[in-house]
Amino acid sequence: MSSKTQTLRESAAEWIASNGLAMSLFERFARQMVERRRRFGVKALAERVRWECAMAWDDTVKINNNYSAYVARELCQHIPGLADLIETRVTRAADRPARYVVKDQRVDPLTDEPMESDE
């Protein structure tokens, strides 16, 4: 990555590009739901992928829940009809720096850091 801080969108795109096995499972399971014309959430899909990886390879794929919206959008580009079955929302965080440590009293009551505003 360049000298600038990596955004959440960029971090997710990098994960998607480097995790072909997990993405193939995401696609396979999403296509199953499209065939059944059943609405579903991408987080349920992520848990299914984690489960299948753990059962098949005795290891879990590290799927950051913050990437699920980007995985959903990627899948919608490749699977006809999928966009009608899952909901995606606009995110204001897409182009902000990706953060892996949340210093927020609502999440970590031991932190003395004040909450960051989304404004």
Query: Domain residues for 7?
Result: 1-119
> What confidence score (pLDDT) does residue 114 get?
54
> What confidence score (pLDDT) does residue 57 get?
77
Residue 20: enclosing H or E segment and its boundaries? helix 20-36
Give tens-digit pLDDT for 37-67: 999 999 999 999 999 988 887 666 788 888 9
Question: pTM for the complete prediction?
Answer: 0.72
Domain count, the chain: 1
CB 59 within 8 A of CB 53: yes
Give tens-digit pLDDT for 84-93: 998 777 766 6
> What confidence score (pLDDT) does residue 26 get?
96
